Amino acid sequence: MRMLINVPETVVADALRGIAAAHPGLTVDVENRVVVRRDAPVAGKVALVSGGGSGHEPLHAGFVGPGMLSAACPGEVFTSPVPDQMVRAAAAVDSGAGVLFIVKNYTGDVLNFEMAAELAEDEGVQVTQVLVNDDVAVTDSLFTAGRRGTGATLFVEKIAGAAAEEGAPLERVEAIARSVNEASRSFGVALSAVTTPAKGSPTFDLPPGELELGIGIHGEPGRERRPMMTSREIADFAVDAVLEDLRPRGPVIVLVNGMGATPLLELYGFNAEVQRVLSERGVVAARTLVGNYVTSLDMAGCSVTLCQVDEELLRLWDAPVETPALRWGR
């Protein structure tokens, strides 16, 4: 596998130096692996800190800025960051109004953020956590590590970030983050395996002419393998899997997310099919976002995330945001 890297050991640090050079709105501590919005701490504002393994760019560093995250902590590729990073980030962005940790539901992320929350509170920072677990492909969630956090992370970070920017107190920001997670579901498919820099070869073997249904974002295989399907068939399958679980009674925000190696041309074509299924099922798409936002290195494929919204959540979604990967309204 050819990769645009120097050596596997430095891919995260190299990318952080590149992010720093491209985005003057961010302060990047390459050594300690913390990305902070330049004007933090913002007086009186609740701070939002997230983080997770690298390899999902632009998540999370690409969502740092006014209207979204205060700081992000990138770990090694597909490996949760360590508690020191979150503690450092929390200290850097806390204005005294408290910090919300946004944690994707993976065992490693949960354990490290939990340790970090304890350490940060020892240092006098008020911390609460919200868990993102939107992936309906994980069934039997009582007998597993539970549903994974995927596309809904973007919704939680954007909508809770807007509430924090407006000056909402910590309990309110936390409640909004929770309600967004509870109103969101995702389903993903892979058209190719993923190759991590450390391993250098695909993490699973996907023969030509087949696809994986119900994948996560770490190259872990999905639950089921089938002969290749058309965009129309995949949209039917993925949207129905989400709707069956979500059963929305109102309009939704749609995220059609690329896994990294699927061209936008294909993603837009897939979005047309997603919109068709939604309208056939009588679901109104209030807003739609198409692009590579929660990726899995070089994996081909996509995910669909729906978030049921009321007027308030939709207003917060539309509120101004200014980050490397999402920006509108300013």
Partner 1 sequence: MLDADFFHRWMTAAADSVDREANHLTELDSAIGDADHGSNLHRGFAAVRAALDKEPPQTPGAVLMLAGRQLIATVGGASGPLYGTLLRRTGKALGDAPRVARQQLAEALGVGVAAVAQMGGAQAGDKTMLDALLPAAEALGTSFGAAREAADAGALATVPMLARKGRASYLGERSIGHQDPGATSSALLITALAETDGASGGDA
Catalytic residues: 56, 218
- Minimum separation from the CB atom of position 265 to partner 1 (A): 29
Which region among 20-28, 58-66, 131-139, 184-192 touches partner 1 (by CB under 8 A)?
131-139
Backbone angles phi and psi of 272, in degrees to 5: -60, -40
Q: Is 305 in the site for partner 1 (CB under 8 A)?
A: no
**What whole-number distance in Å separates Cα of residue 192 and Cα of residue 34?**
31
Evaluate the CA torsion angle 216, 257, 157, 312 in order and state its sign: negative
Query: In the range 111-130, which residues lie near partner 1 by CB under 8 A?
Result: 111-112, 114-115
Report in angstroms how near the CB of residue 15 gets to partner 1 at its nearest. Answer: 16
Contact between residue 270 and residue 229 where contact means Cβ atoms under 8 Å apart: no
Structure tokens at 4: 């645009």
Helices (H), the chain: 11-22, 83-93, 107-122, 152-165, 170-182, 231-246, 264-280, 311-318
Binding residues for partner 1, rule CB under 8 A, total: 37
Residue 254, both tokens: 């749609």
Under the criterion CB under 8 A, does residue 204 sit at the interface with partner 1? yes
Asked whether position 169 contacts partner 1 by CB under 8 A, the answer is no
Residue closer to partner 1 by CB (options 133, 181) is 133
Collapsing DSSP to helix, strand or coil, 247 comes out as coil
The answer to whether 220 contacts partner 1 (rule: CB under 8 A) is yes
- Total length of the chain: 330
Contact between 101 and partner 1 (CB under 8 A)?
no
Cβ distance to partner 1 smaller for residue 138 or 290: 138
Interacting residue ranges for partner 1, rule: CB under 8 A: 53, 75-84, 106-108, 111-112, 114-115, 137-140, 143-145, 148, 196, 198-199, 203-204, 216, 218-221, 223
